[in-house]
Chains A and B, each alone.
Chain A
Amino acid sequence: MTTFISFSVGRENFAMDIGRIREVCNFSEAVRVPQAPPHILGLVNLRGRAVPVMDLGLRMSTAAIGSRGRELIVVEVQDDQDPWLMGLLVETILGLEEAGPEDIAPPPQMPGNVGRFITGIFRANGYYLLDTQKLCTP
């Protein structure tokens, strides 16, 4: 069994493996960075580390979360070099889910950009399983 964290973005619910999650924290404001990709809101100071924040709504081309986002899921992104941190801004954390491979169905054909990031769908509640790595790499 693997543990997943579930959360909402727009009117849909998603889940991701907690293996890569460093922490979950409150979000109030990011420092804007000029020339940043549109889905990157800026930087937050996480106990002395400058962590980029991504609006998951913008990233998946659903709807911008913007000021509705109150919670940040900080994940570790793997890389050829050192792993680095990215804060994913979500609307509401729903909870934790336990699931095995048999509980997750392959993803349906998804219209739009969001399909790129979805690797499966939870049979029990229809939550979409997100690929953290893909979300955080261009």
Chain B
Amino acid sequence: MSQEVLAALERLEAAIMELELNQGAVGEATAEAQVHLRQLLKLCMAQRLRELEPPCHWLGSLLDLLSDGKAQAGQEMVDLLLGPIDFMRRLIFIASGGTPSGPPPGAAGELVPAARPSAPPAGQTGEAGDAPAAKPGEGAPPPALRNLPAAIKVETEKLDGLLDILGELVITYALSSRHSALAQDQNRGLQENLQTLGGLLENLERQVAAIRMLQLNNLFMRMQRLVRDVSAKVGKKVELVVQGGEVELDKALIEELNDPLVHLLRNAVDHGVEDPRERQAAGKVATAKLELRAERQEQFLVITVADDGRGLDRERILAKAREKGLLVPGRVYSDQEIYQLITEPGFSTAAQVTDISGRGVGLDVVARAVVQMGAELVIASQPGQGSTFSIRMPLNRVVSDGITEAIIVMAGGEMFAIPSRRVMEVVAYDPARVFDVSEYQVVDNRGVYYPLLDLAQVMDCPGRGQAPPTILIITLVGGREVAMIGEELVGHQQVVMRSLDKRAFPAVTTISGCALMGDKMGLMLDLEGLSSHLASPELMPTAPADLEDFGFDSGIA
């Protein structure tokens, strides 16, 4: 069975080598490699060689980069592409009964390590092609496999599997330790054992979380190249200064950060900084300075892209927003609020659309991606001195698939989960504190008015209205504070989060996944998706000041 796969691998390898040898026909060679990759992937699926699928996907992403023109063919790229090939070849060799110390069969034995000393050795290939390629001529040749390295790389799939099992374990523990039978139990030994078990689980969680941590440098190092390429393309001189790359972050988060950062840096080069002539006319040095830095600020990690360009044009943003009907007449906007307007969908102040920052997509995409990570995008600017875009994320955030803390609530007879970090308060529902404002309802919670969101209604629960509302959950929905109505508070606990597969549920916007609790399951609310079910901000009072316009006493002197 492996012969067929090895042959397919060889054809793929030949196509990849062609990328370097025949620089004039990169497009054709990429297409050729993609054909061979698809054939290889099909073989892997047919023969259930699941281990080979991830490296195939890495190669696929790399080739996509080439065919999309986002990366250039060259020795470095080819080195990167050959890594997964070597990895797969060795894996097949080992899986077919070979010993790790012997030389792998075929071309891999002599050709690859000898001729390409810079290719990453098997098992150190890195993940999804996002680890920086070893620079040619840098570092020692790959160690022979018998010299086992002190560190090993593990496929993230296996790590995710570990995290899943750990999640279930934590849940099972939570369910057992709170079991009602224990409350009456007089057996001290059992109680103590359970406590020890809980402590061990916490330790295990910490260890597994630590394994998943990667340095931000893994991401930041790629940005140098990006800035170099983009600035060359638009004819500007830009120097990128990177700080704080040693800060560690969960691998999944690092991946999620990639797109927003790429976008912010491109934007900064394309729109943020001036060209050398304009800079000199303004009395600045010709080379613009771009900063990418990460720093801890209490419970947050802040990643900032700062430029020393012309800054955001407050008046132009206001004019554009007015033209697009984004402003509420008569309202006074703070500088921060005005800058935030540029993250509205379809907003772009660029006089001409260049192909660097894309067409029609802009900061709204960045802002949405950032919010989806559970972070926020903070914009600041000084006219003539530059702008800063900061991604501020809570450090205790967990990955979307994994263990998370959630508030569990019943609505319409069904169980829903809300991520705890988005819940500000849970209070008792009091019908006397609910008011109608035009066609909407608001609730007064200690002098602050929140729009009401009837969960059972939005979720279209068949059983709604059968139980009276008893609680209000004050939470952030799409950046606004909202009071959700629930029938019963089930609890605040750790759940295993599984994201919803959009292939089975293409139209679902209000649910992000499910929360597993032992054998029970609830739906996890998608708080961004839910925001479209709120009345538009202009119609909804969000603060006491707005309410007074409706003839209400805010309760605040």
Interface size class of A (residues with CB under 8 A): 20 to 34
Pairs across A and B, CB under 8 Å, 17 listed? A31-B514, A31-B521, A34-B458, A34-B461, A34-B511, A35-B460, A36-B505, A40-B504, A43-B521, A45-B520, A48-B164, A48-B168, A50-B498, A50-B514, A77-B503, A78-B45, A138-B506
User: For B53, what are the chain A residues with a Cβ–Cβ distance below 8 Å?
Assistant: 82
B510 within 8 Å of A (CB atoms):
yes
Interface centre among A34, A45, A49, A79 (most CB of B within 10 A): A34
Chain A nearest CB from B317 CB (Å) reads 35
**Contact pick for B505, options A31, A44, A48, A52, CB 8 Å:** A52
A77 to B521, CA, bound (A): 23
The smallest C-beta distance from A42 to any residue of chain B, in angstroms, reads 9
Residues of B within 8 A of A43 (CB): 514, 521
- Closest B residue to A78 by beta carbon equals B45
**How many whole Å from B509's CB to the nearest CB in chain A?**
7
Residues of A close to B496: CB separation below 8 A: 48
What is the bound-complex CA distance between A31 and B521, given in angstroms? Answer: 7
| Chain A contact residues, majority secondary structure | loop
The reply to whether A52 and B459 form a contact with Cβ atoms under 8 Å apart is: no
List residues 445-484 of chain B with CB under 8 A from any CB of chain A: 458-462
* For the complex of A and B, 3 pairs with smallest distance between CB atoms: A52-B504, A50-B498, A35-B508
In the bound complex, residues from chain A placing their C-beta under 8 Å from that of B458 are: 34
Q: Which residue of A is nearest B462, CB measured?
A: A32
CB contacts (< 8 Å) of A50 on chain B: these are: 498, 500, 513-514, 516, 521
Residues of B contacting A: mostly: mixed
Per-residue interface assignment for chain A, residues 22 to 38, with 1 indicating a CB less than 8 Å from any chain B CB and 0 otherwise: 00000000011111110
Query: How many residues of B are counted as interface, with CB atoms below 8 angstroms from the partner's CB atoms?
Result: 33
- Cβ B501 vs Cβ A52 within 8 A: yes
B508: contacting residue among A36, A45, A79, A86, CB under 8 A: A36
Q: Which of B69-113 contact A (CB under 8 A)?
A: none
Closest-CB distance, B350 to chain A (whole angstroms):
34
Closest residue of chain B to A86 (Cβ to Cβ) is B504
Task: Give B514's nearest chain A residue, CB to CB.
Answer: A50
Chain B residues with CB under 8 Å of A49's CB are 498
| Chain B, residue nearest A138 (CB) | B506
Tally inter-chain residue pairs, CB-CB below 8 A.
Answer: 72
Q: Is the CB of A33 within 8 A of B500?
A: yes
On whether the beta carbons of A48 and B516 are closer than 8 Å, the reply is: yes
Residue ID in chain B nearest A31 by CB atoms: B521
A79→B41 CA distance, assembly (Å): 12
Residues of B within 8 A of A82 (CB): 53
The answer, yes or no, to whether B507 is at the interface (CB within 8 Å) is: yes
Which of A35, A137, A138 gathers most chain B CB within 10 Å? A35
Decide: A31 and B503 in contact? CB cutoff 8 A. no
Name which residue of chain A comes closest to B157, CB basis. A82
Interface centre among B164, B510, B521 (most CB of A within 10 A): B521
Docked CA distance A34–B461 (Å): 8
Docked Cα-Cα span, A118 to B557, in Å, equals: 72
Question: Is B408's CB within 8 Å of the partner chain A?
Answer: no
| B425 part of interface (Cβ distance < 8 Å) | no
Q: Does B519 contact A (CB under 8 A)?
A: yes
Q: Is B13 an interface residue (CB 8 A)?
A: no
CB neighbours of B461 from chain A (8 A): 32, 34
- The residue among B462, B496, B503, B513 with the most chain A CB atoms within 10 A of its own CB is B503
Q: Kindly list 12 other residue pairs between chains A and B, CB separation below 8 angstroms, not including A34-B508, A34-B511, A48-B516.
A: A31-B415, A32-B414, A34-B458, A34-B460, A34-B510, A35-B507, A36-B504, A37-B506, A43-B521, A44-B521, A45-B514, A82-B53
Select from chain A the residue with minimum beta-carbon distance to B508.
A35
